[in-house]
Amino acid sequence: MASFQVFLSGGPEYLPEKGRLQVATSLTEKIRHRFGGGFEHFVHEGEFITIGGKEVAVFRWTTRTSRWRLCCVPAAR
CB proximity list for 66: less than 8 A, separation 6 or greater: 37, 38, 39
CB 8 within 8 A of CB 59: yes
Give me the mean pLDDT over the 2-18 stretch: 90
**Using one digit for the tens of pLDDT, what is the confidence trace for 12-60?**
888 888 889 999 999 999 999 888 888 999 999 999 999 999 999 999 9
Say what the pLDDT of residue 70 is. Answer: 47
Of 19-23, 42-46, 62-66, 71-75, the one with minimum mean pLDDT is 71-75
Say what the pLDDT of residue 76 is. Answer: 52
Reply yes or no on whether the pLDDT at 73 is more than 80.
no
End-to-end Cα separation, the chain, in angstroms: 38
